[in-house]
Structure 1
């Protein structure tokens, strides 16, 4: 177990590194989302493999490669099934992959359940991303998802670092504040309204046909789930006694440190999209 580190002052240098990293990552992600198809599948597959690697390193430091390979293969098989539209196979494959990963990880982790959970943790978000993109107006909905999570994360960091104030959950994440929490939620709602407005103005974007209060509420839900995902990863890192999931991205740590909120938000936004798909919101 690692002990909580003291709260930090606003680090402008770290913010600059984050911005520089974003200038590389954001165009790559937006391009893959925009073109969709195999390009977006490739992005999700690469991310799934990297996430599996980081989970193996965190949960099974004695044998990270074998555990990462088992998790990665299980996730990728389920994601490809979802991309091909075989949803009746996707979830059984995910369950089988989790069980297989646990069996393969025998003796390599403190608990074999950690390997199984790696599949359950990573795969649903990847499946939700693929499913969201292939639907009608999928481009707009996927861009909304990324915009909401990015705005929530960025403005939670900036607002919390500048305004400070009471801590959100000092036991697990000593640097997060209530001011950052609410700043991130407001920014997420604004981002969703902005994407919805653009979808009605730009011919290249499918119209989402949302009213601005509904878009704001979807953004709020996405922002809230982003915060929850971030806090949940903080709990997981404390459980495994690590500060970061990796060192892949300068200024951010590992990929899991960057997409922890996105993983939760993807499932929530996909759930909202499912409601609209079947007309339950009308």
Structure 2
């Protein structure tokens, strides 16, 4: 039972470079968080285009990138409903454009929805410079990172039965359980030390467990997408991880779950 330290070492080095940038942007909020979100949208649009249309990615890149930049910028103004409506319209427009130039319209449209939905929700969660928004955003990132790292380490050590061998032959049930435990623990810790607007810190464990499950699901979903497009990695931007999408696939799903959870708590508080 040995961890592949070569790959792990590359992952650690990449994390040491990228994590502080993400943490600083999350902490600063406002324009800094918007800037890193916009940069991520452009990079993810490039990876999506190169995966889905490897022979001619540039037109699809521009269609997806402009759509993502537009909806993220609208969301940053606080206009969430218009941002969501724009997301749907932009996805339809990207799909029609792709068909017009002889590409697969559904792939372009789905790329906008797949990447744009979490971007809008992360902007909503961060909520400018709100301390509660900061806590929720930290919760998303810490749980997603903790569950991802724990799943990799535990799965490498214990191995065992495969989780979904058809689409992701390297992921195991032992890694899945390790990721879930780590995510729940991380959620409980964050809820204990940071001001989340939840009735009791115990909810941090529940939120961590739910977000960890979403992280695992997001990772598996991206594996299925890569299998569909016939690629091993979404890109080569991050040593040890592949592309940016390979790094944030679980985070994207976790953001959706956390945003839904926070909305539920807001509605509960409003009706109390």
Fold conserved between structures, TM > 0.5: yes
Alpha-carbon distance in structure 1 between the residues aligned to 2:65 and 2:149: 29
Task: Judging by fraction of residues, say which structure has more helix.
Answer: 2
Question: How do 1:31-70 and structure 2 match up within 5 A?
Answer: 31-70=24-63
Alpha-carbon distance in structure 2 between the residues aligned to 1:163 and 1:274: 38
Kindly provide the CA deviation profile for residues 183-227 of structure 1, in whole angstroms up to 9, marking residues without a partner as x: 00000011111111221xxxxxx4545534311010000000000
2:13 to 1, 9, 20: 20
Map of 1:98 onto structure 2: 91
Alpha-carbon distance in structure 2 between the residues aligned to 1:47 and 1:174: 28
| 1:213 equivalent in alignment to 2:202 | yes
How far has the Cα of 1:106 moved from its partner? 2.4
Map of 1:117 onto structure 2: 110
Alpha-carbon distance in structure 1 between the residues aligned to 2:196 and 2:119: 24
How far has the Cα of 1:130 moved from its partner? 0.2
Question: Are 1:125 and 1:266, in contact at CA under 8 Å, matched by a contact in 2?
Answer: yes
* Unaligned segments of structure 2, at least 5 residues: none
Alpha-carbon distance in structure 1 between the residues aligned to 2:199 and 2:205: 10
Q: What RMSD, in angstroms, separates the aligned Cα atoms of the two structures? A: 1.7
Alpha-carbon distance in structure 1 between the residues aligned to 2:161 and 2:119: 34
Map of 2:236 onto structure 1: 247
Alpha-carbon distance in structure 2 between the residues aligned to 1:164 and 1:28: 33
Kindly provide the CA deviation profile for residues 153-183 of structure 1, in whole angstroms up to 9, marking residues without a partner as x: 0000000000111110111101100000000
How far has the Cα of 1:109 moved from its partner? 6.4
Q: How many residues align?
A: 269
Alpha-carbon distance in structure 1 between the residues aligned to 2:190 and 2:182: 12
Alpha-carbon distance in structure 1 between the residues aligned to 2:241 and 2:81: 37
| 1:225 equivalent in alignment to 2:214 | yes
Alpha-carbon distance in structure 1 between the residues aligned to 2:102 and 2:249: 22
Secondary structure of residue in 2 paired with 1:261 = helix
* Unaligned segments of structure 1, at least 5 residues: 1-7, 200-205
Map of 2:254 onto structure 1: 265
Q: Rate the CA distance shift 1:185–1:109 in 2: closer, same or farther, 3 A.
A: farther
Map of 1:175 onto structure 2: 170
Moved over 3 A (4+): 107-110, 206-210
TM-score by length of 2: 0.94
Q: Rate the CA distance shift 1:207–1:122 in 2: closer, same or farther, 3 A.
A: closer
Map of 1:149 onto structure 2: 144
Alpha-carbon distance in structure 2 between the residues aligned to 1:40 and 1:75: 15
TM-score by length of 1: 0.91
Alpha-carbon distance in structure 2 between the residues aligned to 1:10 and 1:133: 35
Question: How do 1:131-150 and structure 2 match up within 5 A?
Answer: 131-134=124-127, 136=130, 137-150=132-145
Alpha-carbon distance in structure 2 between the residues aligned to 1:77 and 1:146: 24
Secondary structure of residue in 1 paired with 2:99 = coil
Alpha-carbon distance in structure 1 between the residues aligned to 2:207 and 2:231: 33
Q: Rate the CA distance shift 1:207–1:173 in 2: closer, same or farther, 3 A.
A: closer
Question: Are 1:155 and 1:183, in contact at CA under 8 Å, matched by a contact in 2?
Answer: yes
